Amino acid sequence: MTSGELKKQFIKFFVERGHKRIPNSSLIPENDPSALFINSGMHPLVRFLLGEPHPLGRRLVNYQRAVRTGDIDEVGEKNSRHLTFFEMLGEWSLGDYGKKESLTWTFEFLTQVLNLDPYRLYVTVYKGDDVIPKDDESIKIWQDIFSKFGIEAKVGESFTVGPDAPRIILLGEDNFWAVGNVGPCGPTSEVFYDKGYGENPDNRFLELVNNVFMYYNRTKEGRLEELNQKNIDVGWGLERILSIIHNLDQNGNVLDVNSVFETDVFIDQRNWLINKWGKSEFEYLNDGSVRKAIRVVLDHIRASVMIISDGVEPSNKDQGYVLRRLIRRAVTYGWKFSAGSSDYLIDLGSMCIDRLAQDEEYTFILNNKHRTLSVLENEVNKFEKVLSQGVRELNKVNDNIISGELAFRLKESLGLPIEITLEIAASQGKEVDIEKYNLLMQEHQIKSKIGAEKKFAGGLGDYSDISICYHTCAHLLLAGSKMLLRKDVHQKGQNITSERLRYDIGYPDKLTEEQIHLLEDWVNEQIVRDLKVDFIETTFAKAKEYGVEGMFIDKYEALEIVKIYRIYPKELNVHPTDLVFEDKDKYVSLEFCGGPHVNHTSEISKFGRFKIIKEESAGQGVRRIKAVLV
């Protein structure tokens, strides 16, 4: 059974049981700032789970594209079941049928449509807590279902192997599902397949489907309230199911090394990539570094083309940051296996698009193919330059030890991943002072987390929205100072928190009240003008010749490629990827900077007007300005 056939069989099975098919939604959530991507089938249905009537009725079915990055480091491991982009089969009861129908249909589909051996299936049930009691109803239903196959479903509290192993396992918080910290939620009952290999339960038993009894709503205060409409949300992992049915031997076992990547979803691209890198199937299956690199590249490029097709472009914020991270990880993992060239990733992206577009729900990505591959190629090329510069920097080291300070500087100034630094060092017979590097990274992460919003947790970003707004205000303040005070004003330092902007300029005299008000009014005028904010990358020599402003010029001078942030009226036709001298007077601001910034200055206004609250000396010839948005 192919992935396409599985989807069709799934839809058919539940349509025959009164469900109406609903569309597959975009990965980008609508009107939900709490989430970067749709991460489950139920995510687009929250308002209906809370009681709003659905136009198609109380029984729904579909398959939904989703992205989760919480387990990104697990992608590609030997027994990997993790993907960043995946598809989820799902069916819902919006206050209609109950647990008996749901669990019975789940077992029927697994055993009668997919023909899985019931003796290989194990289930989990919520064991209860101080608020929600143990799910005795589900236990009874499962025992009745298993008894029809002559299986005594004993109850236990852990997965074990053997004739006396429990068939029903009671679990706590692992069997309670919610889409986020607020909203519909409830206890679950999952079905696992015993792959037959290994003693580690986490590896041997693979979750295939999760029945969520969404009977509760979690309030902003953290309270659980019973819903008037008792819902059931069932999610099936498409790729996980395929990893079982595509890799069964005659005894029903699945080799531990087989995974979601040994399915028709990935197999053609996987084999092409193995051959492209000059590897063999044996090396793929037995060399952990080769296997992980191939799987990471396959997953990340497939995820990237779908994210781009849904309208996202690489950036330093939100969905764009995740996309940039995925593409750069793909470049990183393939670097040493592809002779330092990542051109093959564009071909792989094209293959992923063609494969996905075989599905009627995803034919739209063919219309976006040229743009998608262009965006992918641009980001790949940018990061290749970073890696090349990093290699050159490391080649300059004459010692056998590469200092932690250098490794950290390459990470922060170039974005060079520590994995690449370690690999380059090993190829040169050198070691990296990884303890010092880790210490510096820990210190940096502690500082970076200050003011970060929850949606940036887990390494998705370093700044809150208001801090980003203050960062852009700093560029406007310098531009205004050059216009209103004197042209040779330069930045001497800055410090930005989520509460205020502190900015030092080289200026000999105390600012008058009139000058302060003029600066305030000028900055606020630029905010209201809704100027466009973007960046380009070019050579340091070109940027310097153009007169680009910035501190730490010596740091940028050491780089082959530098990033320039531009602020300009959005109606102007400036060159999208290069500095053109004829455009010079069109820019409000042009500075060396690593970002991040707002995309348009009007975004700043949601936090208030720019106001200077203090002006003082910060040393001879330096004035310190403190400002807030109020």
Q: Which of 151, 65, 73 is nearest to 107 (CA)?
A: 151
Are 45 and 115 in a shared domain? Answer: yes
Residue 177 falls in which region: left (phi positive, over 0), alpha (psi -120 to 50) or beta: beta
Q: Which of 39, 46, 32 is nearest to 217 (CA)?
A: 46
CB 415 within 8 A of CB 386: yes
| Side-chain-facing half-sphere of 327: CA atoms under 13 Å | 35
Whether 405 is in a domain gets the answer no
Q: Look at 3-12, 315-324, 393-402 and tell me which has the smallest mean pLDDT.
A: 315-324
DSSP, res 130: S
pLDDT at 358 over 50: yes
Count of other CB atoms within 10 angstroms of residue 547: 9
CB 341 within 8 A of CB 282: no
CB 586 within 8 A of CB 460: no
pLDDT at 532 over 50: yes
Q: Which of 299, 238, 306, 240 is nearest to 269 (CA)?
A: 299
**Angstrom distance (rounded) from CA 243 to CA 262:** 6
pLDDT of residue 559: 59
Bridge partners (DSSP) listed for residue 401: 431
Tokens of 478: 């310098």
Residues 6+ apart with CB under 8 A from 609: 520, 524, 527, 629, 630
Q: Which of 43, 51, 56, 126 is nearest to 95 (CA)?
A: 51
Q: Which of 275, 278, 273 is nearest to 297 (CA)?
A: 273
Which strand (E) or helix (H) includes residue 305? helix 288-309
Are 132 and 222 in a shared domain? Answer: yes
pLDDT of residue 379: 93
**Angstrom distance (rounded) from CA 341 to CA 590:** 32
Grouping H, G, I as helix, E, B as strand and the rest as coil, residue 417 is: coil
Q: What is the dihedral of CA 606, 610, 616, 622, to 10 degrees?
A: 100
Whether 338 is in a domain gets the answer yes
Grouping H, G, I as helix, E, B as strand and the rest as coil, residue 378 is: helix
Q: Look at 36-45, 163-172, 600-609 and tell me which has the smallest mean pLDDT.
A: 36-45
Residue 304 domain boundaries? 266-377
Are 241 and 282 in a shared domain? Answer: no
Count of other CB atoms within 10 angstroms of residue 414: 20
Q: How confident is the model at residue 528 (pLDDT cuts 50, 70, 90)?
A: very high
Q: What is the mean pLDDT of the chain?
A: 87
More confident residue, 577 or 529: 529
DSSP string for residues in 14-69: HHTTTPEE-PPPPSSPSS-TT-SS--STTGGGHHHHTTPPPTT-SEEEEEEEEE--
Beta strands in 43-83 (DSSP E): 59-67
Whether 590 is in a domain gets the answer yes
Are 219 and 302 in a shared domain? Answer: no
Residues 6+ apart with CB under 8 A from 182: 34, 218, 219, 220
Whether 477 is in a domain gets the answer yes
How do residues 391-404 score in pLDDT, each as one tens digit? 888 888 988 999 99
Whether 152 is in a domain gets the answer yes
pLDDT at 261 over 90: yes
**Per residue, what are the HEC states of 441-505?**
HHHHHHHHCCCCCHHHCCCCCCCCHHHHHHHHHHHHHHHHHHHHCCCCCCEEEEEECCCCEEEEE
Grouping H, G, I as helix, E, B as strand and the rest as coil, residue 243 is: helix
Q: Which of 167, 125, 124, 175 is nearest to 146 (CA)?
A: 167
Q: What percent of the chain has pLDDT over 70?
A: 94
Q: CATH no. for residue 120?
A: 3.30.930.10
Bridge partners (DSSP) listed for residue 187: 176
Whether 62 is in a domain gets the answer yes
pLDDT of residue 304: 97
pLDDT of residue 558: 54
Are 35 and 158 in a shared domain? Answer: yes
Are 212 and 345 in a shared domain? Answer: no
Are 234 and 289 in a shared domain? Answer: no
pLDDT of residue 241: 96
Are 91 and 221 in a shared domain? Answer: yes
**Angstrom distance (rounded) from CA 498 to CA 470:** 8
Whether 286 is in a domain gets the answer yes
Q: Which residues of 273-294 are buried (b: 16+ CB within 10 A; e: fewer)?
A: bbeebebeeeebeeeeebbbbb
Residue for token pair 């939904």 = 64
Q: Which of 177, 191, 186, 172 is nearest to 128 (CA)?
A: 172
Q: Which of 479, 475, 590, 472 is nearest to 538 (CA)?
A: 590
Which strand (E) or helix (H) includes residue 1? none
**Angstrom distance (rounded) from CA 259 to CA 261:** 5
**Angstrom distance (rounded) from CA 163 to CA 148:** 18
Whether 311 is in a domain gets the answer yes
Establish whether the linkage from the previous residue to 133 is cis, with ω within 30° of 0: no
Are 291 and 225 in a shared domain? Answer: no
**Angstrom distance (rounded) from CA 311 to CA 295:** 25
Average of pLDDT values for 378-402? 88
Are 590 and 495 in a shared domain? Answer: yes
Are 43 and 143 in a shared domain? Answer: yes
Cα separations (Å) of 609 from 172, 470, 472, 496?
49, 11, 13, 17
CB 38 within 8 A of CB 65: yes
- Angle, CA 301 vertex, CA 38 and CA 298 arms, to 5°: 110
Bridge partners (DSSP) listed for residue 402: 432
Residue 112 falls in which region: left (phi positive, over 0), alpha (psi -120 to 50) or beta: alpha
Which of 63-77, 99-113, 186-200 is predicted most confidently?
99-113
Q: Look at 162-176, 297-311, 546-560 and tell me which has the smallest mean pLDDT.
A: 546-560
- Residue 613 phi/psi, 5-degree rounding, is -105, -15
Average of pLDDT values for 87-101? 96
Q: How confident is the model at residue 356 (pLDDT cuts 50, 70, 90)?
A: very high
How do residues 451-509 score in pLDDT, each as one tens digit? 333 333 322 334 567 888 999 999 999 999 999 998 889 888 888 877 789 898 989 88
Q: CATH no. for residue 608?
A: 3.30.980.10
pLDDT at 522 over 50: yes
**Angstrom distance (rounded) from CA 88 to CA 102:** 17
| Domain end position, chosen among 357, 377, 397 | 377
- Residue 208 phi/psi, 5-degree rounding, is -110, -35
pLDDT of residue 462: 40
Q: How confident is the model at residue 551 (pLDDT cuts 50, 70, 90)?
A: low
pTM over 0.85: no
Count of other CB atoms within 10 angstroms of residue 446: 9
| Domain end position, chosen among 377, 397, 426 | 377
pLDDT at 550 over 60: yes
| Domain end position, chosen among 323, 347, 377 | 377
pLDDT of residue 34: 63
DSSP, res 579: -
Count of other CB atoms within 10 angstroms of residue 423: 16
| Number of domains, the chain | 3
CB 503 within 8 A of CB 491: yes
Are 552 and 613 in a shared domain? Answer: yes
CB 574 within 8 A of CB 587: yes
